[in-house]
Amino acid sequence: MAGLAESGSNPDVDLLYDINGLAKDAPHWFDRVMEYVGEYGLLLAMVLLVLWCWWSVRRRGAEDAASSVAALVWAPLAAGVAVLVNVPIRGFVERPRPFLDHQGLDVLVSGKTDYSFVSDHATITMALGVGLFVTNRKFGLVGIGLALLEGFCRVYMGVHYPTDVVGGFALGTAVALLLSPVAMALLTPLMKAVEGSRRLGWVIRARGAGQGQESVVSGARSKRSVDSEERDLAA
């Protein structure tokens, strides 16, 4: 992989220079914003998005709340597993950071001494985004969009090749989807046990959540029962 990056005619390198070249033409303050967003901001946004989705699930209090929360718990776990899987991948590929092999890059973040392939940031954000998509498509699409933006930021900052980002997206997606059945089989019973707990039940379902719907269903059943009795008396 390192050998592929040595040629300036490589499309991966060309795209790196094209995207990173935007940083050279941008105002200094914008580069500082992109540095913060790409290094910390989008990761924080993904965490907040997961919490928002969890709040929405527990407030709605649907019958599948336990399985939905289990999927949400799996999302950050999938990100952690993907990062662990990336450790041997990085050690095997040993691809240097792009600024070590190519001159003229505008590197917005210093101190990056580890290997480049694959991007941890891209891996984490995409694993979270795909995990959210399994739970809720609307939240998931927003999460995947944030992950794509994270990938762009990493190349813009000059710390990753585009293929580092694509590899991170693939790794995060694969871990989140392929291990999801096993994770859900283990986490769903646990979340159902939490739901039945007096002390921890609020984690799965907010107090009073779902009671309005149950009251409507109960009222409809009572009305049908009364109507049935009236028909029997009339007969």
Q: Could you read off the pLDDT of 155-199 as tens digits, one per residue?
A: 999 999 999 999 999 999 999 999 999 999 999 999 888 888 788
Ranges 125-129, 152-156, 227-231: which has the least confidence: 227-231
Q: Domain residues for 22?
A: 9-204
Over residues 212-233, the mean pLDDT reads 50
Do 54 and 166 fall within a single domain?
yes
pLDDT in tens, 8-42: 468 899 999 999 999 888 999 999 999 999 999 99
What is the model's pLDDT at position 111? 80
Q: Which residues contact 180 (CB under 8 A, 6 or more apart)?
A: 71, 74, 78, 131, 134
Q: How far apart are CA 58 and CA 77, in angstroms?
A: 20
What is the model's pLDDT at position 37? 94
Whether the pLDDT of residue 146 is over 60: the answer is yes
Do 225 and 172 fall within a single domain?
no
Q: What is the pTM of this model?
A: 0.81
DSSP character string of the chain: -TGGGG-TTSHHHHHHHHHHHHHHHS-HHHHHHHHHIIIIIHHHHHHHHHHHHHHHHHHHT-TTHHHHHHHHHHHHHHHHHHHHHHHHHHHHH-PPPHHHH-SS----S----S--SSPHHHHHHHHHHHHHHHH-HHHHHHHHHHHHHHHHHHHHTTSS-HHHHHHHHHHHHHHHHHTHHHHHHHHHHHHHHHHT-TTTGGGTS-TTTTHHHHHHHHHHHHHHHHHHHHHHHH-
Do 35 and 103 fall within a single domain?
yes
Whether the pLDDT of residue 216 is over 50: the answer is no
Q: Is residue 129 part of a domain?
A: yes
- The three-point CA angle 124-126-128 to 5° equals 70
Q: Is residue 154 part of a domain?
A: yes
Do 158 and 94 fall within a single domain?
yes
Mean pLDDT across the chain = 84
The structural domain count of the chain equals 2
pLDDT in tens, 115-139: 999 999 999 999 999 999 988 899 9
Do 228 and 132 fall within a single domain?
no
Whether the pLDDT of residue 105 is over 50: the answer is yes
Predicted confidence band at 205 (pLDDT cuts at 50, 70, 90)? Answer: confident
Q: How far apart are CA 138 and CA 130, in angstroms?
A: 11
Compute how many other C-beta atoms are within 10 angstroms of the C-beta atom of residue 145.
Answer: 11
